Amino acid sequence: MPLIRIRRGWEIPEREATPEAVYLNRRNFIKTLGLGSIGAFGLLSACRNGSADGTQAAAGQPSATRSVPKSATSNLYPARRNPNFKLDRPITPEQVAGRYNNFYEFSDQKDVWRYVDQFHTRPWQVEVKGLVEKPQVFDIDNLVRKMPLEERLYRHRCVEAWAMAVPWTGFPMKALLDHVQPKSSATHVRMLTFLRPSEAPGQREQDWYPWPYFEGLTMAEAMNELTFLVTGIYGHELTIPHGAPIRLATPWKYGYKSIKSIVLIEVTNKQPPTFWNKIAPDEYDFWSNVNPYKPHPRWSQARERMIDTGEYRDTLLYNGYAPYVAHLYQT
C-alpha cells in the first residue's frame, strides 16, 4: 500500500515542466547562447503569413489533414500491420498529432502545418553512401517499392516531456542497409535533412541554427529491429509536418533523434555529430535514450504528458522498449 512514499528529486512538482514552459526554456536557452534574440523572434512572427487565429485553416483545407498529393506509391497504403508492436495507450488522434509538430525547418512553434505549402516532396532522392559495397541514389518511390512496408504502432516521447502514440508505416532501416551492404569497418550511420530555405521558412528566418538538421546512430542501433524508416502515417503517405517523404523513428530515444525528411544516409567509421548536441551539448547527448531517472538539466523526465488528453503517465525506461534495446547499452 503506497500510503507513505518519499518523493525523489525528479518527482518534485516544481521541477515538472509543462510543455509550454519547457518549450520557452528551450527557446530562452538558445537566446542566452546568443544564437537568437527577442527582436529576431518578434520579426519572425511578424513576417509569417499564417494567421494567428487559424483563419488560414478555415480558408483552405488544413495541411495537417489534407490528403497529400498522391505519389506513384500512394497505393501501397495502408500496409499490413505488424502485430508485434502493440501499445499500452490509445492511438493519438490524427488531427492532434498533425498539428503539434517539432520541425524547426518550418516553425519552432509546433504549428508546422501552417508553413508547409511551398515544400515539394517529389521528386525526392535519398542518397546512401560511405562505407558500403553498393552506394546508391534512390528515387523515393523506387525505394518504397523495393522495401517491405508494414505498419507499426509506436510510442513517441519528445525530450520536452510530451508524448503521443502513432501508427507509422515504413520499413526497418536494416532492410535498406542490407541492400547496400555495409563494410565491416562501418561503426555508425549519419543522416541529413534537406536544405531548401526557399521552401522552408524556418531555414530562411532562423539562421542561427546549423542547417541542415543532422543525426546519427551506431551501426548496432541502426540495425536494431525497432529502427524504422517511416514513409506513411495513419494508413496513408507521410504528411509534411511529420517529415515527408521519409523520416526516422527510433521510439526508445527522445524524438529529436527521429530526423525528418531525410536526403542522405552515410555509413561511417566515426560517431557523427548531431543537431541538438551541437546547439546545447550539456543538454542533448548522442545517445538520448528515454530515461525517467535521468532528468534533463532543466526539468524532470519522470513523467510525460499525452498531447491529446493531457493525461500524465510515468515515463518508461527506454520508452517501454527495453526488451529490444537494453542489451545495446550494457557494458
Ligand X SMILES: Nc1nc2c(c(=O)[nH]1)N[C@H]1C(S)=C(S)[C@@H](COP(=O)(O)O)O[C@H]1N2
Residues making contact with ligand X (CB under 6 A): 101-105, 156, 158, 193, 213, 241-243, 255-256, 258-261
State the residue for C-alpha cell 561503426.
Answer: 187
Smallest distance, ligand X to C-beta of residue 242, A: 4
Given Mo ion, ligand X, none, residue 101, with its beta carbon under 5 to 8 Å by kind, binds ligand X
Taking the C-alpha atoms of residue 297 and residue 13, their distance in angstroms, rounded to an integer, is 15
Bridge partners of residue 264, in order along the sequence: 127, 192
Taking the C-alpha atoms of residue 62 and residue 213, their distance in angstroms, rounded to an integer, is 26
Phi-psi region of 222 (alpha: psi -120 to 50; beta: other; left: phi over 0): alpha
What letter does residue 280 receive in the DSSP assignment?
Answer: -
Smallest distance, ligand X to C-beta of residue 275, A: 7
Binding mask 144-163 for Mo ion (x = CB under 5 A): --------------x-----
Smallest distance, ligand X to C-beta of residue 99, A: 10
For residue 294, count other CB atoms closer than 10 A to its CB: 13
Taking the C-alpha atoms of residue 291 and residue 275, their distance in angstroms, rounded to an integer, is 20
CB-CB contact of 330 with 323 (8 Å): no
Smallest distance, Mo ion to C-beta of residue 273, A: 18
CA dist 118 → 20, 65, 197 (Å): 28, 17, 10
β-bridge pairing 262-268 and 125-130: parallel
Q: Which is nearer to ligand X, 101 or 300 (CB)?
A: 101
Q: Which is nearer to ligand X, 149 or 238 (CB)?
A: 238
Given ligand X, Mo ion, none, residue 103, with its beta carbon under 5 to 8 Å by kind, binds ligand X
Binding mask 52-91 for Mo ion (x = CB under 5 A): ----------------------------------------
Q: Which is nearer to ligand X, 18 or 269 (CB)?
A: 18
Q: Which residue is nearest to ligand X (CB)?
A: 255
Taking the C-alpha atoms of residue 216 and residue 191, their distance in angstroms, rounded to an integer, is 6
Q: Which is nearer to Mo ion, 213 or 234 (CB)?
A: 213
Q: Which is nearer to ligand X, 213 or 299 (CB)?
A: 213
- Long-range contacts of the stretch 136-143 (C-beta < 8 A, 24+): 136/179, 136/180, 140/71, 140/73, 140/231, 140/245, 140/246, 141/71, 141/72, 141/73, 143/176, 143/246
CB-CB contact of 186 with 268 (8 Å): yes
Smallest distance, ligand X to C-beta of residue 63, A: 13
Among 10, 23, 256, 321, binds Mo ion (CB under 5 A): 256
Kindly state whether residue 102 participates in binding Mo ion, applying the rule CB under 5 A: yes
Among the listed ranges 46-54, 197-205, 251-259, 294-302, the one in contact with Mo ion (CB under 5 A) is 251-259
Smallest distance, ligand X to C-beta of residue 216, A: 13
Smallest distance, Mo ion to C-beta of residue 160, A: 6
Smallest distance, ligand X to C-beta of residue 7, A: 28
Among 36, 182, 245, 255, binds Mo ion (CB under 5 A): 255
Cell of 284: 542533448
Given ligand X, Mo ion, none, residue 188, with its beta carbon under 5 to 8 Å by kind, binds none
Q: Which is nearer to ligand X, 170 or 243 (CB)?
A: 243
DSSP string, 160-203: TSEEEEEEEEEEEHHHHHHHH-B-TT--EEEEEE---TTT-HHH
Smallest distance, Mo ion to C-beta of residue 92, A: 15
Q: Which is nearer to ligand X, 144 or 158 (CB)?
A: 158
What residue ranges bind Mo ion (CB under 5 A)? 102, 158, 255-256
